[in-house]
Structure 1
Amino acid sequence: MLEIRTVVMGVGDMRRAVEFWTRALGYVPREGEARDDWTVLVPAGGHGVAVALDVSATPAQEHPRVHLDLYARDTADQAAEVERLVSLGAERVDWDLYPEDPDFVVLADPEGNRFCVIDPTH
């Protein structure tokens, strides 16, 4: 049986991407430091899905086919996490595909990659 162990994201500026995602997720570079072309970030506690950053010349998609969903604990935690991520360099996305009463907030990392912060209690 297969399992997902790593999600790979294309980035244009490796240092900026590593700085954002390590602070956003509490992850650390697997090899101890970031490389210029490829860096795998892993949970500091050792368990969970890795996020690999790969230098790419392709721009981030406005409506990506694949994206990350980050789960908060509840509505208040979702709001706090969105503000924390924005303070780290994420941007709110004026998402044209929001349903009437969404349980998610769409953000973009400093590279423009879209991701969602989910309220599982919604």
Structure 2
Amino acid sequence: MLKIVSIVIRVNDLPAQSRFWQAALDYVERDPASDDWVVLKPRDADAPCIALDAHDSERVLPPRIHLDIYAEDQDAEVRRLAELGAREVHWDNLPDDADYVIMEDPEGNRFCVVDRPDWAGWERYQDE
């Protein structure tokens, strides 16, 4: 049996990207960061880790893979992420009824903030 435990994102500025993703997702370092690698884990939830790999790589658009991040309050989360340094990506082909907002982190790694206030899995992520 296989299980996704960690998703790796290539970055240029490891400390800055680590701070962004920790604040964005309320993650913490699983172990102390090295010069070119850190694994961030959820503080209190059962969710995949995010590993940041300081390694030069060409940015390709559209990306072949991206994160979908569910939000209980999409508008508030988009504003909060923008305050942390993320940017909204405007796409001419976005459907009128899209339940997602395309964003990119401070280095241009794209992700979607999906409006899912009724997602049944939220209780796993709530403090007990």
Fold conserved between structures, TM > 0.5: yes
User: In the comparison of the two structures, how many residue pairs are matched?
Assistant: 118
1:46 shift after superposition: 5.5
Tell me, which stretches of 5 or more residues in structure 1 are unaligned?
none
SS at match of 2:24: helix
Maintained 8 Å contact 1:9/1:53: yes
Please point out which of 45, 60, 75 is paired with 1:79. Answer: 75
State the identity as a percent: 48
Cα-to-partner distance string for 1:19-78 (whole Å, 9 max, x where unaligned): 1000000001111x32220100001126321000001211333211110000012xxx10
> Residues of 2 paired with 1:97 and 1:53: CA distance?
30
Please provide the CA RMSD for this pair: 1.6
Tell me, which stretches of 5 or more residues in structure 2 are unaligned?
119-128
> Residues of 2 paired with 1:94 and 1:72: CA distance?
19
TM-score when normalising by structure 2: 0.85
Partner of 1:37: 36
TM-score when normalising by structure 1: 0.89
- The one-letter amino acid paired with 2:99 is D
> Residues of 2 paired with 1:9 and 1:43: CA distance?
16
Question: Is residue 57 from structure 1 mapped to residue 56 from structure 2 by the alignment?
Answer: yes
Instruction: Name the CA shift for 1:95/1:22 in 2 (closer, same or farther; >3 Å).
Output: same
Partner of 1:23: 23
